[in-house]
């Protein structure tokens, strides 16, 4: 019998194409191993190593970008991963989030007197998971990425051992996240049952190659639905959003920023890739579902945000409503008969990358402000009087909030404009109207924070000094927000061939 087992031959691996992942892994191991074997490093060094690792991954991704520009998109590791502009831009967004969040975390942990290497290592492993997710061309690989990301996030959410809220957030996130993973995995299993493969590209060709008998299609659609539910939990679409405000509020603020940016970007991009690459032939089935999810998410996200009093909860709901906006782009991709169907992908990619910078910047400011407040919480009261005590910080926050509201000349407007334009180009007027109305409702939330900062009298007159690393992070985020807001061409130039996802 033994001689009949053929020798196992692994797939050929283009090592350079996966180098961002390797660099991130190296950085994480360095922090964990060396960090645990050496005495406490000097202040700021853990964060710096993490930021530099992310920076190196960004640089490598840019090299890969040029490769893809010249030689086209391709599949890696025997078809497990895709290398295309869509994935690379999302990877860059995730790594940028790691870079900025590491800087902020470094100041934050120094303030809490508990700087430790584990947090940064977890950021880096989460980024690995995220990059695997956005590039995954195989549902199983996608699941691996999802779990790597999620497990890191559970630990990060609970990482503040001194606060019970943080423990609660971690546990809550863990239980509901596990629940979601189960949904997703069952969906994968059913899809496999219906199509006989887990490769996204192969699923599509198997669905197109023969006429499926009705029984199989039911299996498939249930599978797709379960996957949508799983993703819905991960990116907190309504009605799967209930955990989000609690977890966002309880987690340490920089971690919240990381979850809202990198975590969300990874899950959303993966969601989009799965549906656009694997199930375009069933777009008529999932299109309406996405339409409803998107509208619900937009409405609930923006309306419920209005009545919150804690800034982190407000931003949690606002991030829900942003996810609704991004789903509008996915809904666009379901209009297969329209010649403009590709606009959806481009709009999503632009939205995602701008949103990541925006949300990290916003949470960086919240981190600084909340840490100065007496109870460490980010209530609206903590923001009172910043306009007087620290006008530059307040101005930076104002720019970021206006961008979240989608005011012109900020990146937020560019992002929203792209999505709305895509929706209109395929004739989804209803969704465009819902999205714009919700943008106005959400604007009220940002105005409330601005009112607290500028128009309310301060409770204390002490000037909140912003630590160096946080200043850099906030400055970068604000710069991206304004530069892309005024000159969107810089980003739009890159997006010319987003619609070419890797398929072979």
Partner 1 sequence: MIASNAEVLNFPILTLLVVLPVIGSLLVALLSGSRPEWIKLTALVSSVSTAALSLWLLAVFKSGEAGFQFVSQHVWISQWGISWHLGVDGISLFLIVLTGILFPLVIVGIDPHHNETSYFAWMLLLQAGVMGSFLSLDLFLFFVMFEIVLVPMYFLIGGWGYDQRVYAATKFFLYTMAGSAFMLIGIITTVALAHRDLGVVTFDLVKIAEGAKFSTNTARWLFLSFAIAFAVKVPLFPFHTWLPDAHTQAPTGGSVILAGVLLKMGTYGFLRFGVYLFPQAAMWARPAIFTLAVIGIIYGAIAATMQRDLKRLVAYSSVAHLGFIVLGTFALSSQAVTGAVMQMVNHGVSTGALFLLVGMIYERRHTREISELRGIQHVAPIFAGVFTVVMLSSVGLPGLNGFVGEFLILIGSFGPARWWAVVATVGVVLAALYLLWAYQRVFHGEPDEANSTFKEITVREGLLMSVFVAIIVVSGIYPKPILDRIEPSVAALIQHVEGQTK
**Residues of the shown chain interacting with partner 1 in the complex, contacts defined by CB under 8 A:** 391, 402, 407-409, 413, 417, 420-421, 424-425, 429, 432-433, 436-437, 439-440, 443-444, 447, 451, 454-455, 488-489, 492-493
Residue number with CB closer to partner 1 (177 or 385): 385
- Minimum CB separation from partner 1 for residue 454, in Å? 6
- Minimum CB separation from partner 1 for residue 293, in Å? 21
- Minimum CB separation from partner 1 for residue 424, in Å? 5
- Minimum CB separation from partner 1 for residue 340, in Å? 8
Between CA 478 and CA 397 the distance in angstroms is 8
Residues with Cβ within 8 Å of 358's Cβ and at least 6 positions away in sequence, in order, are: 400, 403, 404, 411, 412, 477, 480, 481
Residues with Cβ within 8 Å of 444's Cβ and at least 6 positions away in sequence, in order, are: 306
Residue number with CB closer to partner 1 (99 or 449): 449
- Minimum CB separation from partner 1 for residue 441, in Å? 8
Residue number with CB closer to partner 1 (287 or 406): 406
Residue number with CB closer to partner 1 (140 or 443): 443
Residue number with CB closer to partner 1 (7 or 457): 457
Residue number with CB closer to partner 1 (122 or 405): 405
For 228, counting Cβ atoms within 10 Å of its Cβ (0-12 exposed, 13-18 middle, 19+ buried), the class is buried
- Minimum CB separation from partner 1 for residue 216, in Å? 38
Helix, strand, or coil (residue 129): helix
Is the Cβ–Cβ distance between 66 and 55 less than 8 Å?
A: no
- The string over 393-425, giving b where at least 16 C-beta atoms fall within 10 Å of a residue's C-beta and e elsewhere, is bbebbbbbbbbbbbbeebbbbbbbbbbbebbbb
Residue number with CB closer to partner 1 (189 or 409): 409
- Minimum CB separation from partner 1 for residue 129, in Å? 33
DSSP E strands, 216-360: none
- Minimum CB separation from partner 1 for residue 127, in Å? 30
Helix H, strand E, coil C: the string for 336-400 is CCCCCCCHHHHHHHHHHHHHHHHHHHHHHHHHHHHHHCCCCCCEHHHHCCHHHHCHHHHHHHHHH
Peptide bond into 239 cis (omega under 30): yes
Token digits for 195?
């199509």
Residue number with CB closer to partner 1 (28 or 420): 420
What's the CA angle centered on 273, arms 268 and 275, to 5 degrees?
Answer: 95
- Minimum CB separation from partner 1 for residue 420, in Å? 6
Phi first, then psi: give them for residue 384, nearest 5 degrees: -65, 135
Is the Cβ–Cβ distance between 95 and 126 less than 8 Å?
A: no
Residue number with CB closer to partner 1 (216 or 340): 340
């Amino acid at each position: 019998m033994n001689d009949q087992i053929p020798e196992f031959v692994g797939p050929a691996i283009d090592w350079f194409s996966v180098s961002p992942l390797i660099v991130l892994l190296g950085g994480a191991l360095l922090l964990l191993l060396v960090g645990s074997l050496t005495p406490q490093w000097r202040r700021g060094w853990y964060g710096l190593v993490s930021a530099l690792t992310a920076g190196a991954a960004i640089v490598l991704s840019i090299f890969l970008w040029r490769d893809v520009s010249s030689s086209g998109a391709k599949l890696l590791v025997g078809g497990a991963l895709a290398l295309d502009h869509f994935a690379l831009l999302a990877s860059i967004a995730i790594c940028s989030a790691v870079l900025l969040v590491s800087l902020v975390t470094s100041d934050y942990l120094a303030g809490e007197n508990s700087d430790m290497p584990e947090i940064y290592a977890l950021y880096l492993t989460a980024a690995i998971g995220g990059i695997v997710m956005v590039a995954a061309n195989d549902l199983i690989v996608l699941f691996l990425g999802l779990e790597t990301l999620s497990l890191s996030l559970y630990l990060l959410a609970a990482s503040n051992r001194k606060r019970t809220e943080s423990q609660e957030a971690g546990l809550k996130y863990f239980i509901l996240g596990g629940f979601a993973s189960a949904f997703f995995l069952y969906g994968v299993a059913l899809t496999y049952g219906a199509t006989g493969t887990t490769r996204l590209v192969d699923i599509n060709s198997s669905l197109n190659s023969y006429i499926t008998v009705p029984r199989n299609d039911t299996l498939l659609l249930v599978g797709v639905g379960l996957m949508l539910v799983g993703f819905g939990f991960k990116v907190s679409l309504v009605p799967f959003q209930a955990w989000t405000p609690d977890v966002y509020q309880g987690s340490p603020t920089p971690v919240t920023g990381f979850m809202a940016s990198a975590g969300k970007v990874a899950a959303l991009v993966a969601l989009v890739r799965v549906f656009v690459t694997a199930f375009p032939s069933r777009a008529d089935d999932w299109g309406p579902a996405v339409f409803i999810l998107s509208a619900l998410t937009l409405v609930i996200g923006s309306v419920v945000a209005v009545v919150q009093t804690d800034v982190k909860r407000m931003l949690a709901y606002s991030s829900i409503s942003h996810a609704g906006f991004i789903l509008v782009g996915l809904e666009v991709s379901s209009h297969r008969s329209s010649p403009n169907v590709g606009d959806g992908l481009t709009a999503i990619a632009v939205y995602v990358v701008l949103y990541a910078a925006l949300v990290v910047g916003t949470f960086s400011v919240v981190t600084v402000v909340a840490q100065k407040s007496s109870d460490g919480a980010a209530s609206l009261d903590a923001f009172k009087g910043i306009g007087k005590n620290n006008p530059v910080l307040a101005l930076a926050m104002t720019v970021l909030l206006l961008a979240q509201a989608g005011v012109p000349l900020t990146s937020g407007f560019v992002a929203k404009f792209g999505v709305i334009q895509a929706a209109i180009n395929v004739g989804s007027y209803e969704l465009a109207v819902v999205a714009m109305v919700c943008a106005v409702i959400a604007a009220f939330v940002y105005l409330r924070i601005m009112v607290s900062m500028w128009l309310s009298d301060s409770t204390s007159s002490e000037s909140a000094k912003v630590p160096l690393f946080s200043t850099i992070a906030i400055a970068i985020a604000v710069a991206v927000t304004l530069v892309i807001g005024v000159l969107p061409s810089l980003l739009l130039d890159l997006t010319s061939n987003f619609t070419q996802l890797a398929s072979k």
